């Protein structure tokens, strides 16, 4: 089984931090919140870089 490993850009709506993320990191951010400020993260915080 092959997993797609796309890259998106995460932009925190609270602290405005911006980082490229892969699929696994994206899922962790949605589950746990921003690693910098702890703000909740939604699907809308990601911009596709494909």
Mind listing the pLDDT tens digit for each residue in 8-39? 888 899 999 888 899 999 999 999 999 899 99
| Domain presence at residue 14 | yes
DSSP helix/strand/coil, 43: helix
| Domain presence at residue 25 | yes
| Domain presence at residue 27 | yes
pLDDT at 15: 94
Residue 16 domain boundaries: 8-48
| Domain presence at residue 16 | yes
Domain count, the chain: 1
Residue 15 CA to chain centroid, in angstroms? 14
**Contact yes or no for 4/23 (Cβ under 8 A):** yes
| Domain presence at residue 2 | no
pTM: 0.72
29's tokens = 């951010």
| Domain presence at residue 29 | yes
């Amino acid at each position: 089984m092959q997993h797609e490993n796309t890259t998106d850009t995460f932009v925190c709506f609270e602290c405005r931090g911006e980082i490229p993320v892969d699929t696994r990191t994206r899922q962790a951010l949605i589950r746990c919140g921003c690693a910098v400020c702890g703000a909740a993260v939604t699907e809308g915080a990601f911009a596709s870089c494909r």
